[in-house]
Structure formats: structure tokens, C-alpha cells
Amino acid sequence: MAFQLHHLTAQEQWDWVRRREVTALELTEHHLERIARLGPRIGAFARVDADAARDAARRIDANGQGAAPLSGVPIAEKELARRAGTVSGSGSRLFAGRPATVSDAITTAIDDTGAVVLGATTAPEFGLTGFTEPAGRPAARNPWDVGTGAGGSSGGAAAAVAAGLVPFAVGSDGGGSIRIPAATCGVIGVKPSRGRVPAQGGHGSLAGLVTAGPIARTVADAAMLLDALVAPGGRAPAPVTALVAPGESGFLGAAIRGEGRFSIGVLQGSVWDDAVSIRLDPAAARAVDRAADAVDALGHGRQNVRLQGEDYPDFFRVLWQASAATIPAHSAAELDLLEPYTRELVLRGRALAAERVVAALAAAAAFERRTIATFAAFDAVLTPALALPLRPVGWYTADADGDAGVDTVFDRQVQAAPYSSFVNVAGLPAITLPVGESDAGFPTGVQLIGRPGGEATLFALARQLERRFDWPRRHPPAFW
């Protein structure tokens, strides 16, 4: 297969621009061409900012990369993030045709990295679902099988990265929205610790659930992006070539070195087991076994661990509905513009008694303390990334009508991804990565959950597993 620029990792693309083996404009044009040709097929992009991207690339070529850490590398933001002067509609008809007047902090942080923003990736309405199938617009489809969904809510981002439309992308995660699509599409997804990313770091959302983070094809590229988001405009990464490793600094250094021996917990069951019927697919179980065997072979210690979360399903449902209540749709006409699932969540959230919300917040805080204490003996806790195999587009909402249908859709999301949302409640860092494939040849992955502030350990351990399974060499057909 003939070499193409998108075959390079993000680190390599940065280094090629630095050494003038390629211009930032050439990289930009290459990826824009792929977006135009392949993007509609997988529903990856809600908005393409081609002219602005070309202008940014030309400035870099004229002035040099400077100190910005990702200067010249193509990237995508998520359409939930507002960018002044563009229609950033949060995936909703509510804001259709209305350009944003201000940029969100995460958008500014992405700009400060020096990366060339190609556009905004598709998300479900207000990011409220673990699948990306917005009404009236193309669904984000999995490049491994376009009949299946890409997960959500950062589904467009994961599909774009897996298909080689961008080397990495910024997603957001309030209940698994980075990790679910990353695992679905066979790429790396990182949910940082609460407060780790200065912009959209979790403290501004109800119960501190939502944080921004990287989606990438390699562990090191994800670490490189997180370094840049944590300290926008900071140092440039060390040169990367086939023979020279980056300097030992930041998360990137931890990912490149991939060193250490760690204590690993293997989670038994999920916090949803008593409330929703959870069936772990055999391929998902094999992925955990494969990772656990690798942990043993690499010399790490491991033991099983269980969480106490009997009250979790009840308080999390309250928090999810309460978070939807803040969506700025108030008149009957505005509510009618919302998708049925969103509208029902909004109405339920606004009908909640204040004491129920306060009690849920208190229960979430207690769960956070309990979970951190339970996991304190481990450097990382291993779980399946997903419980079910790839889901066909339309599966979550099939035969889910009326008020009761909202509960059906919610339960199906839990059945597919029961290991995600509790990490947000606990504020812990987590990374998902592919470690194998199903009988059909699709990626299967695992999740590693760290201690508060423990991203460096996760990157080191994930890199060890990445080396062992050599997954970055595997790509969906669309990539080639």
C-alpha cells in the first residue's frame, strides 16, 4: 500500500513540519481531501472549516511553528464546543443557523496548541447519549462497519480518527463520551482526572461529570494532545523520528518510555448489575482476559476488586436528568425543536424536587470517596471497555416510543457501556485501548482506571499493552 501523509502519527506529522519535509498546508489539504471524500460516508463532521484551516496553515508555513506544542498538526474539535462566528449548534435544531458570539474555553485552548482546526465532529444533541445519531442529520458510523454506530457522544471524533481524517481529536466525556466511541472504533480514548484540563475540566458541570480529553490512534499521540491541553501554548514537544524518542517530560514522556511495574485491580461486575440486565459479550470478556494475561506476563501484580454501588443507578439517573434541565429551551416552541429523548429528559429534570437533586449530589460525593478508597490499593483498575459488540445504527431507539421509550433508550446505553459513567462520578482518569478483535474482526478493548491525577501511570501501562498487542498497525478499510 502506497504511503500517504495520514499514515504518519501526530508526532511524526509535527516533526515533518518542523523539518520541512512537508508543509502545514500540504498536511491540511491532504486531510481536507479525505474529509470531503470519506467524511459523509461515516458522518464524521458536522462542520468543515476549510478556508480557516488553510489560512492557519499558511501562517504557520510563513512564520514557523514557534512554541505552540502542536503547531501545524491537523485536529478536530467537537461540535458541542462553541466557536465565535460559526454555527456551533450542540447537535440541536435549537441553535440551527445561529452563529456563536463567543468561543468556549476549550475552543480557545485548542487554538492555543497551534494545531490546525479542520472543523467540528458530529455529536448527538447536547451530548446526552452514548450513540451519535442526531435527528435529521447523518449518524456517525463506525469505519470498521458502516452499518454500525460509532458510539457517543464523541462519535464523530472517534470515527474521524479511526478513518484517518485527522490524526487526533478533542472530545468531551460526561459519562463515557470519549471512551465509548474510542473503544467502538478501535482507537485510544482518554478521560482525564476531574480538573486536569483547565478548560472544560469538570468543575463547571453538575456533579463535575464532564471533562475534555484526547482521542488518538496511539497512546503517545493521546499523551501529546493531553500535554498540550493541560498547558496550552507551552513548550513544544521534542523532535520525533523513527530513531529518536521524545524527551522524558510530561505525559508524552511517560507514554514513550512505557516503564514501571504496577499493582492492577480487575473489576468484578458493574455498578448497574442490580438495576439493568448486563450481559458481557464473550469477545469483551476475552479482551479483559487477554489484557489480564499480559499484565501477568509483564510482571505486574493483580487481584480482583468490587465496587459498592447499590444506590448508584438511582442517583445517577437523577443527576443525568437534572443536567438536562439546564438546556436553554423554555417555551413550547423551543421544546418542540428538541429531539424526543432530549425533551423528555429536560422535562423530567425540571420536575425533580430540589431535595432529590441535593440527595443525589450527596450520594455522588459519597460514592466518589468510597470508590477512591476501594481503588487506593491499585495503580490501575482493569475493566471491559464495552459490554456489547458493535450496535447497528438505530438499535438504541428501535421500538422506543413515548415516555417509556426514554427509559428503554437509557437502559440500552447502560447495557452497552456499564463501566463508564461511574468513572466520571468518581472524577478519576481512565483510558480505553484496543487489545484484540472479535470473531468478526472488529476491535475489542479494555479500560484502565487510575488514581486521582494518575494519568502518567495510565499512559505508561497502556503503552506497555500497546507494544505487546501492536494494535496501531491495524486500521479499518477506510483508512487505506
Q: DSSP labels for 77-93?
A: EETTS--BTS---TT-G
Q: Which three cell numbers stand for residue 286?
A: 476475552
Distance of alpha carbon 364 from alpha carbon 316, whole angstroms: 8
Distance of alpha carbon 35 from alpha carbon 119, whole angstroms: 10
Distance of alpha carbon 154 from alpha carbon 226, whole angstroms: 16
SS3 at position 186: coil
Tell which residue, 191, 163, 228, has the closest CA to residue 432.
Answer: 191
Query: Which helix H or strand E contains 38, and what residues bound it?
Result: helix 24-42
Residue 364's Cα: distance from chain center in Å?
22
Strands (E), 333-415: 380-384
Could you list the active site residues? Answer: 78, 153, 177
**Angle, alpha carbons 51-53-59 (nearest 5°):** 105
Distance of alpha carbon 110 from alpha carbon 230, whole angstroms: 10
SS3 at position 378: coil
Distance of alpha carbon 429 from alpha carbon 178, whole angstroms: 12
Q: Which three cell numbers stand for residue 195?
A: 480538573
Q: Is the peptide bond before 153 cis (omega within 30 degrees of 0)?
A: yes
